[in-house]
Structure 1
């Protein structure tokens, strides 16, 4: 089919059901609706956005989930395409300020040296010696004297750093950085994915510290951006565009089953009591579709797909992570980020959001991330212990944890999940459990999956 009018007609008669109203599901619905495909999106909860969520703490609204995106990346381009200003939304992008990072020590918070994944370029820097001692610094310097080694022999970051620069640098500098930035221990990090430029630099320089020095000298990372009034602005824009394009969004409606019948699918959704967007009574409703995109979390997606797709085993057990957003005493003047040592706290990272949200000098707002589910009291106590300041108010939100694309083994599992031979025509899945965490990864994956499905039904 090549005639444009035929394509338009085909699109208008190709209904789509998207299951899940997180960013991945909203993007998938938008990508289908904008070419004229009738779209119905089912979201089990009463809110859209998934890990994009804004909370109110101490009378201030701030992001509790995903908070930023790369300049000129997939999210930035999506924001431009949506035309937030046309929708009456604030389209102002705000560059996140580059801030130094600290870690915990018996002497309180101390600066982490510049490096790549926590690996220092010079083991004799004052900040390095402060953390690892002179013995650890001299052990790190032996890296310059050891025979050259390429990462091809060792993709585990922890093992690589231990071999080249010693256990103290791996444990006291690298571990807090990987735990804080990636949610992974050093041995769980795949170097070739987390720092793809490190391998060629190591080959050229002959030492790990020399490779880091080269990369720091040539560093030109894209700035990180956020939206002036929070990332929920993106959710609102997607919701409005989908509705403008004729799409139907049903919150409080959980998908219960997907049944294939020839070239079509029947999706059964159950509407919960208390739905506020219209007067429909609770109960089951059936939707017919030529295309189904499952954009739910992994624990919800797998049962829906079980009878249709033979999926590989889950990459990791289901788990939760918590963010705590808190108001802290204004005498906290560090204004940076903290990656605590594992022995010091369950907190993996703390970020100061004050400047990003243009909050006055009399108040500071911080956000911490922890593995598992914790109470507000426990999270506040840990924040107070790490920062050494009083916590005045805190809001805790927990999310389903998704794997990181930098985690060893994830790329291979993701490739198996993306094998086109697994998936029947018209059926696809997207989400962080398939793409890895990060808004740009999730948006890119949703766009790619939707494009494949559109082509499959419209160009066949």
Structure 2
């Protein structure tokens, strides 16, 4: 139904638009300073890409299952929230690759090369590399060690760099499956410095791409590159919400921001539409309440936009129509869908494909781009599931392609996921073993690593420096994964906090 009228809020110090992890972290930073904080979220749940789903009595992650350890940002936050003691390491068994067969028809499933970075091998003639790409391609890749470095530290395109130095087989069979699984994108669409910071510099130092990988792997801090939380990453969201409540911040779900403008007095007005009765003015809400669409006008001294890219850019264009160069030619987001299956399948007890499999594009008989064997990856989940019961997650959708899951109904998609899981894991699985399933779509996944994105982000951030009471954060700006999202959200909130401190 259409709006019944306007519901005016009292003015808040800070309004955060979006209750994903970025928005919650930014709101927490402001609330801890004693500021009045309101978070508005379009959906009916907080957390964004970090959230739970209940299947067969198990509380499972719908999005991120873990976090990268390339910095201490996530672990530090978890410690502050009282979750530090629940940080766990994954099974070190490693992942596999499923690729088109080297010769003839069919598919090949092999362990992922151990000494590699984004699939780029540090030892091109290693047996696990040869198994994936064949001897001829491995020898071609080894030529990287003999070729001079003609472009010093200036390579931008990941795909072009890999193909130039090591050949198309390394690009298509080793690097592309990983870039597709992690960034939903072809490596030719990704920027080197965004996906592999330090690689260009190491390339210059080592004199070869494979040498650069070996150098970076040697210098990497010991321990797992990914960690998780016992009970699931969604516990992070629960802890953030609890702390926001402790500091008196309000999180209003079901309220979609549709406009943002600056008032003559320098404050901001956020226009939102709510379908939740508790958010509406009692005089304008109907007896049913939740069936009505109520327009809200929310005043704030400062605003932090923490929504996905499309919504954020729309709000910024509304607030600052003159920012043409900052709100211009942004890459299109991708459609990604996660299918979670809970199976009674004792044949999977041996974890036949380690912790998961990344799938090369065009691999016969496989539609999914990746599979995670969650009960093989996380010991706590295997304990919770019990003997013979397994959780596997399959991912569908790549940038520039129609997502094959989008047109399928729930039963059709579950059937496809079962067929894919059978092919990928090498174990026959059918509907009689299915205990439960769920699908989780992400419709606006814009990669921070896309070519040209770094320059677009820099232009937008330069504009935002002129706005002490307006900040923007999110993975499309800060980078993929919580290890990027949390520092970016903290920095965004830092600018707002400094404004209030210096008043």
TM-score, with normalisation over the residues of structure 2? Answer: 0.81
Tell me if the contact between 1:402 and 1:436 (Cα under 8 Å) persists in the aligned partners: no
Q: What is residue 75 of structure 1 aligned with on the other side?
A: 74
Q: What is residue 237 of structure 2 aligned with on the other side?
A: 235
Structure 1 Cα separation of the partners of residues 94 and 112 of structure 2: 8
Q: What is residue 53 of structure 1 aligned with on the other side?
A: 51
Structure 1 Cα separation of the partners of residues 310 and 195 of structure 2: 26
The size of the alignment, in residue pairs, is 443
Q: What is residue 113 of structure 1 aligned with on the other side?
A: 113
Q: Residues 362 and 241 of structure 1: is their aligned pair in 2 closer, same or farther, counting only changes over 3 Å?
A: same
Query: 5+ residue gaps in structure 2?
Result: 1-10, 102-106, 398-402
Tell me if the contact between 1:46 and 1:275 (Cα under 8 Å) persists in the aligned partners: no
Write the mapping of 1:148-167 to structure 2, written as runs, cut at 5 A: 148-150=149-151, 152-167=153-168
Structure 1 Cα separation of the partners of residues 395 and 222 of structure 2: 24
Q: What is residue 353 of structure 1 aligned with on the other side?
A: 374
Structure 2 Cα separation of the partners of residues 21 and 173 of structure 1: 36
Tell me if the contact between 2:338 and 2:395 (Cα under 8 Å) persists in the aligned partners: yes
Q: Residues 270 and 196 of structure 1: is their aligned pair in 2 closer, same or farther, counting only changes over 3 Å?
A: closer
Q: What is residue 383 of structure 1 aligned with on the other side?
A: 421
Structure 1 Cα separation of the partners of residues 470 and 279 of structure 2: 30
Structure 1 Cα separation of the partners of residues 12 and 498 of structure 2: 12
Write the mapping of 1:335-374 to structure 2, written as runs, cut at 5 A: 335-344=354-363, 345-355=366-376, 356=378, 357-358=381-382, 359-371=385-397, 372=403, 373-374=405-406
Displacement, 1:405? 3.1
1:65 equivalent among 42, 45, 63: 63
Structure 2 Cα separation of the partners of residues 228 and 409 of structure 1: 38
The question of 1:398 aligning with 2:454 is answered: no
Displacement, 1:249? 1.8
Q: Residues 271 and 419 of structure 1: is their aligned pair in 2 closer, same or farther, counting only changes over 3 Å?
A: same
Tell me if the contact between 2:206 and 2:212 (Cα under 8 Å) persists in the aligned partners: yes
Structure 2 Cα separation of the partners of residues 249 and 131 of structure 1: 49
Displacement, 1:141? 2.4
User: Which stretch shifts more, 287-296 or 129-138?
Assistant: 129-138
Displacement, 1:16? 1.5
Q: Residues 108 and 287 of structure 1: is their aligned pair in 2 closer, same or farther, counting only changes over 3 Å?
A: same
Structure 2 Cα separation of the partners of residues 112 and 395 of structure 1: 28
The question of 1:327 aligning with 2:325 is answered: no
Q: What is residue 37 of structure 2 aligned with on the other side?
A: 39
The question of 1:429 aligning with 2:475 is answered: no
Structure 1 Cα separation of the partners of residues 163 and 270 of structure 2: 52
Displacement, 1:342? 0.5
Question: What SS does the aligned partner of 1:268 have?
Answer: strand
Deviation per residue, 1:231-250 (Å, 9 max, x gap): 22111111111112111221
Q: What is residue 99 of structure 1 aligned with on the other side?
A: 93
Displacement, 1:82? 2.5
Write the mapping of 1:95-244 to structure 2, written as runs, cut at 5 A: 95-105=89-99, 106=101, 108-114=108-114, 115-150=116-151, 152-220=153-221, 223=224, 224-244=226-246
Structure 2 Cα separation of the partners of residues 172 and 382 of structure 1: 19
Q: Residues 447 and 314 of structure 1: is their aligned pair in 2 closer, same or farther, counting only changes over 3 Å?
A: farther
Q: Residues 277 and 259 of structure 1: is their aligned pair in 2 closer, same or farther, counting only changes over 3 Å?
A: closer
Structure 2 Cα separation of the partners of residues 28 and 360 of structure 1: 38
Q: What is the RMSD of the two structures over their aligned residues, measured on CA atoms?
A: 2.7
Q: Residues 202 and 15 of structure 1: is their aligned pair in 2 closer, same or farther, counting only changes over 3 Å?
A: closer
Structure 1 Cα separation of the partners of residues 451 and 222 of structure 2: 23
Deviation per residue, 1:61-115 (Å, 9 max, x gap): 211202212446222211222235xxxxx95111223332211143542112121
Question: What SS does the aligned partner of 1:347 have?
Answer: coil
Deviation per residue, 1:257-290 (Å, 9 max, x gap): 2232122122233320466999893423332211
Structure 2 Cα separation of the partners of residues 139 and 254 of structure 1: 53
Tell me if the contact between 1:52 and 1:64 (Cα under 8 Å) persists in the aligned partners: yes
Q: What is residue 253 of structure 2 aligned with on the other side?
A: 251
Q: What is residue 17 of structure 1 aligned with on the other side?
A: 15
Displacement, 1:397? 0.2
Q: Residues 275 and 395 of structure 1: is their aligned pair in 2 closer, same or farther, counting only changes over 3 Å?
A: farther
1:408 equivalent among 447, 451, 458: 451
Displacement, 1:48? 0.9
Q: What is residue 454 of structure 1 aligned with on the other side?
A: 497
User: Which stretch shifts more, 17-26 or 277-286?
Assistant: 277-286
Question: What SS does the aligned partner of 2:297 have?
Answer: strand
Query: 5+ residue gaps in structure 1?
Result: 1-12, 85-89
Displacement, 1:38? 0.9
Displacement, 1:14? 6.3
Question: What SS does the aligned partner of 1:152 have?
Answer: coil
Q: Residues 255 and 404 of structure 1: is their aligned pair in 2 closer, same or farther, counting only changes over 3 Å?
A: closer
Q: Residues 363 and 206 of structure 1: is their aligned pair in 2 closer, same or farther, counting only changes over 3 Å?
A: same
Q: Residues 417 and 222 of structure 1: is their aligned pair in 2 closer, same or farther, counting only changes over 3 Å?
A: farther
Q: Residues 29 and 192 of structure 1: is their aligned pair in 2 closer, same or farther, counting only changes over 3 Å?
A: closer
Tell me if the contact between 1:149 and 1:202 (Cα under 8 Å) persists in the aligned partners: no
Q: Residues 164 and 454 of structure 1: is their aligned pair in 2 closer, same or farther, counting only changes over 3 Å?
A: same
Q: Residues 285 and 405 of structure 1: is their aligned pair in 2 closer, same or farther, counting only changes over 3 Å?
A: closer
Tell me if the contact between 1:403 and 1:433 (Cα under 8 Å) persists in the aligned partners: yes
Q: Residues 196 and 149 of structure 1: is their aligned pair in 2 closer, same or farther, counting only changes over 3 Å?
A: farther
